[in-house]
């Protein structure tokens, strides 16, 4: 069965710093998608970034970028120039093409300090 592991339950960084959130996953498939979702205190789940496994280039969305290491089954999220509004719970998620089921890690609670 596929699993998603986020090893950092909680992190704190100063505003404007760069922070990296870790995610590893386990699968025997070669085609799949990876996602990072953000859940601010409002509880709403918001897509941050998405990566397709067959694409070698790391996805980037403004201040958010990923380091996708397929052989190591690692998918970390880097937030540059962090802002107070980045304070949230961050979830890594995995979807394999074969059955379209999307599973989530347990999340990393990120605090951006003023």
Partner 1 sequence: DAGVIQSPRHEVTEMGQEVTLRCKPISGHNSLFWYRQTMMRGLELLIYFNNNVPIDDSGMPEDRFSAKMPNASFSTLKIQPSEPRDSAVYFCASTLQGPGANVLTFGAGSRLTVL
CB half-sphere exposure, 3, CA atoms < 13 A: 5
Check if the beta carbon of residue 93 is closer than 8 Å to that of residue 105.
yes
Query: Which is closer to partner 1, CB of 75 or CB of 91?
Result: 91
Q: Quick one: the chain helix, strand, coil %, rounded to 5? A: 5, 55, 45
Distances (CA, A) of 43 to 34, 40, 49, 81, 107: 21, 6, 18, 23, 13
Give 63 or 101: the residue with its C-beta nearer to partner 1.
101
Task: In angstroms, give the least distance from the CB of 18 to partner 1.
Answer: 26
Give the shortest CB-30-to-partner 1 separation in angstroms. 16
Nearest to 54 by CA among 96, 93, 10, 6: 96
CB of 81 to partner 1, least distance (A): 25
Closest distance between partner 1 and the C-beta of residue 103, in Å? 6
Which residues would be at the binding site for partner 1 (CB under 8 A)? 33, 35, 37, 43-45, 47, 50, 91, 93, 95, 99-107
Is the CB of 106 or the CB of 111 nearer to partner 1?
A: 106
Dig out the tokens for 103 from the structure. Answer: 């599973």
**Of 77 and 93, which CB lies nearer to partner 1 in the complex structure?**
93
């Amino acid at each position: 069965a596929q699993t998603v592991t986020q090893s950092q339950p909680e992190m704190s960084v100063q505003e404007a710093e760069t922070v990296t959130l870790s995610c590893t996953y386990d699968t025997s498939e070669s085609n799949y998608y990876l996602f990072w979702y953000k859940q601010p205190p409002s509880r709403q789940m918001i897509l941050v970034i998405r990566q397709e496994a067959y694409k070698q280039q790391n996805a980037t969305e403004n201040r958010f970028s990923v380091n996708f290491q397929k052989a190591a089954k690692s998918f970390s999220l880097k937030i540059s120039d962090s802002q107070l509004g980045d304070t949230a719970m961050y979830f890594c998620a995995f979807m394999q093409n074969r059955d379209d089921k999307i599973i989530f890690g347990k999340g990393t609670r990120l605090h951006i300090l003023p």
